[in-house]
Structure 1
Amino acid sequence: MPKPRPSRPPAPPRADPELVRLVRENWALIRWKEAVNNEAWRLVRAVGSNRCGPEQYDAARRSLVDQGIQPPPGYDESRY
C-alpha cells in the first residue's frame, strides 16, 4: 500500500503592505541600480580586475546611457 502524501507546508507570512507599496513605487529605481551594478561588474571583469569602485559605477552608468538604457524618470543622481 502506498504511503500517504505529506501535508503541504504552511504558506509564508504576507509581506507588510507598507513594504509592498514602497517596492512598487521604487521598482524602476531598483531595476536601474541593479542594471548599473551588473554593468559595472561586467566591465570590471572584462579587463580582468576584481575591484569595483565609484569610477567603475560612473563608467557603467555612461555605458548604459550610451546603449540607450535611460535612468527612470525623476532619477536624482546626486542622491545615489
Structure 2
Amino acid sequence: MAGSGDAQYDDGTEYKGYPVEMTELIEDTHGQQFLSKLRVYLPEEVPVSVQDLIELPDDKNNHRQIRKLGGFYDGNTGKRDIWVVYL
C-alpha cells in the first residue's frame, strides 16, 4: 500500500528506443549536477516526462529514473524530432 503523496505507476508501455552508454555531467531537473552514464533516444511521438521510469529489455525490473529530457530539432521546421532521455 502506498502512502499519501507516493508516486504510483501503471504496468508500463513498451516503446522502441536506442540506448547509448555515454558519460556526461548534466544538470538534472532539480538543478543538481549529475553524472549521467546512459541516454535513450526515443521518437518524438513517445509520451515521456521526467516523472516516468525507464526499464531496458536487458535489465528487467531495474526502473531507472529520468534525470533530464532533451531533444534534437529539425533544422527546417524547428520541431523536435527525437527525445534524448538522460538516465
TM-score range, shorter chain: under 0.3
The structure richer in helix per residue is 1
Structure possessing the higher radius of gyration over alpha carbons: 1
The structure richer in strand per residue is 2
TM-score (normalised: structure 2): 0.25
